[in-house]
Amino acid sequence: MKRMSQALEVRRLVDQILDTDPNAQIVVAGDFNASPDEVTVMAIRGDVENTGNADLVGRVLVPIEHTIPAPARFTLYHQGRGEMLDHMLITRNLLAHYRGSEIHNEVLHDKSAAFAIDRKYHESDHAPRRSHVLNIRLSAVDA
């Protein structure tokens, strides 16, 4: 319930920004702790298919992880399989400036296996991501 409340708050903030500036360039990024098909991620994205309102097409946030090949599309390794829990969602008007993404998951450890033997790793269990978006104006909103 807490994640869904947080997702709705993020979506509300995105809509407030777009109400003020319909051409705002928005990036929502971070550890959503949810896979791409979970309702919390879908609520933030605001897909027209889920709203039934074609007038909202300009407010959809696009997940740019789909440009990464499927075998490499994971940011966490858990119980022997990769999971995509860290997302970067952008407004459609940024797609023309988007040049690609990388997920540096080559050295991820399966911390679920490490807990069984009480082994600790000092680095994060999430892989760092990097995306290339050119020629945008940046501003931060602290929600």
- Say if 44 falls within a structural domain: yes
Question: What pLDDT, on the 0 to 100 scale, is given for residue 136?
Answer: 59
- Say if 142 falls within a structural domain: no
Q: Say whether pLDDT at 142 is over 80.
A: no
3-state SS, the chain, equals: CHHHHHHHHHHHHHHHHHHHCCCCCCEEEEECCCCCCCHHHHHHHCCHHHHCCHHHHHHCEEEHHHHCCHHHCCCEEECCEEECCEEEEEEHHHHHHEEEEEECCCCCCCHHHHHHCCCCCCCCCECCEEEEECCCCCCCCCC
- Say if 113 falls within a structural domain: yes
Domain that holds residue 32: 2-133
- Say if 141 falls within a structural domain: no
- Say if 140 falls within a structural domain: no
- Say if 128 falls within a structural domain: yes
- Say if 143 falls within a structural domain: no
pLDDT digit string, tens, across residues 72-117:
887 787 777 888 888 899 999 999 888 888 877 777 767 665 445 5
- Say if 57 falls within a structural domain: yes
Largest pairwise CA distance in the chain: 53
- Please tell me the least confidently modeled range out of 16-25, 30-39, 48-57, 103-112: 103-112
Question: What pLDDT, on the 0 to 100 scale, is given for residue 49?
Answer: 83
Domain containing 74 — which CATH number?
A: 3.60.10.10
Question: What pLDDT, on the 0 to 100 scale, is given for residue 99?
Answer: 86
Distance (Å) of CA 94 to CA 45, 85, 102:
14, 22, 17
pTM for the predicted model, two decimal places: 0.78
pLDDT digit string, tens, across residues 123-132:
566 666 667 6
- Based on its alpha-carbon atoms, the radius of gyration of the chain, rounded to whole angstroms, reads 17
Task: Decide: 84 and 93 in contact? Cβ < 8 Å.
Answer: no
Count of structural domains within the chain: 1
